[in-house]
Amino acid sequence: MVSSRGQVRAYDHGGGVRSLRVPIPDNPLGFTLVYVVDTDRGPVLVDTGWDDPGAWDVLVDGLAACGAGGVGEVYGVVITHHHPDHHGLSGKVREASGAWVAMHAADASIVRRTRETRPEHWYTYMANKLTAAGAPEEHVAPLRTARRALPGFAPALPDREIVPGELLDLPGRRLRAIWTPGHTPGHVCLHLEEEHPGGLPGHGRLFSGDHVLPEITPHIGLYEDPDDATVTDPLGDYLDSLERVGRLAPAEVLPAHQHPFTDAPARVRDLLTHHEDRLTGLLALLSTPLTPWQLAERMEWNRPWAQIPYGSRNIAVSEAEAHLRRLVKLGRAEAVTGSEPVTYVAA
């Protein structure tokens, strides 16, 4: 266990907001920015970080170092979404402090399902889903025999619900929940409706989680649910959520990775253009009928398909399917009748 004692630094964003860089082990993102918001009842955290001993040390030491009174004083935890780099340490923080943990109902139900679903059930679902998407048998076979529990299989159950549009329980502050589904069905951004401490123009500050990041586009896949066959449109949700954030026009965005930035509307426009370009590129590929797997093989990724590792291929197929859903919903592509596995073609 690597202790980081003595090197922890809290960054002061002014106006009673600080951030801690809580490391994510073996991940190119490097760290989660955990925000510490002062309130009249003690600090409230926005996200907590990955559940790892080194990360826990950084969080505990950082809370002590930033004068917020230490982890035992934490009053509440607001979770932007259920992913383990955001919600991983929530249970430990609650144990150490008695803090409440709040999450949107849609992500809370994923947490509940994750705790209750046996790994075999999940692997069977994934195997069937990938077969239906046209994955080759050698890719699917390992899933049919897998039994190992996935890491992060017992995330903490939140004890409060984040209700979209409502102010959260931060005594002396104004923090409003903005529902921004897409990256996950219950992703929220948190709008600090207070003047910017540095006098920057715009409307307050926005904790954006993974919804809007300065230099990378978040993964948009399907909302995988073994027990719910509802045909969702996560990419459509995401694009709507982006426009909602653009209209807020916050003075500064405080994201969960990378670094804070200004001019949210410009970043939103970039992301909308990126996805529109991607949809147009996919339509060109769909001049011949393709399964989601074949589409993923032909899409542009950060490296050639042959070099994409096993687990990332599943994520890539999920992303291809999210784009197909969007195109079908827009009437720009359609499923080929009678194809098995089902193929899609430009309409």
Interface stretch with Zn ion, choices 50-58, 84-92, 125-133, 150-158 (CB under 5 A): 84-92
Q: Does 85 bind Zn ion (CB under 5 A)?
A: yes
Q: Are 86 and 79 in contact (CB under 8 A)?
A: yes
83 contacts Zn ion (rule: CB under 5 A)? yes
Based on the shown chain and the rule CB under 5 A, indicate whether residue 21 belongs to the binding site for Zn ion: no
Which one of residues 210, 233, 237, 319 is an interface residue with Zn ion (CB under 5 A)? 210
Give the Cα separation of 141 and 157 in Å (integer): 33
Which alpha helices (H) appear in the chain, and where do they start and end? Answer: 53-65, 84-87, 90-97, 105-116, 119-132, 137-145, 234-248, 264-285, 292-298, 310-329
Residue 262: DSSP 8-state: S
Task: Please tell me the distance from the alpha carbon of residue 33 to that of residue 9, in angstroms, as a whole number.
Answer: 12
Stretch near Zn ion under the rule CB under 5 A, chosen from 75-83, 120-128, 193-201, 332-340: 75-83
Q: Is 51 in the site for Zn ion (CB under 5 A)?
A: no
| DSSP assigned state of 160 | E
Mention every residue, 6+ apart, whose C-beta is less than 8 A from residue 62.
8, 9, 10, 20, 22, 34, 36
Least separation in angstroms between CB 11 and Zn ion: 18
> Which of the ranges 82-90, 167-175, 233-241, 309-317 carries the binding residues for Zn ion, by CB under 5 A?
82-90
Q: Would you say 50 or 75 has its CB closer to Zn ion? A: 50
Nearest to 180 by CA among 210, 158, 219, 214: 210
Nearer to Zn ion, 52 or 85 (CB): 85
How many chain residues touch Zn ion (CB under 5 A)?
Answer: 3
Q: Which of 61-69, 78-86, 231-239, 319-327 is the region at the interface with Zn ion (rule: CB under 5 A)?
A: 78-86
| Residue ranges that bind Zn ion, judged by CB under 5 A | 83, 85, 210
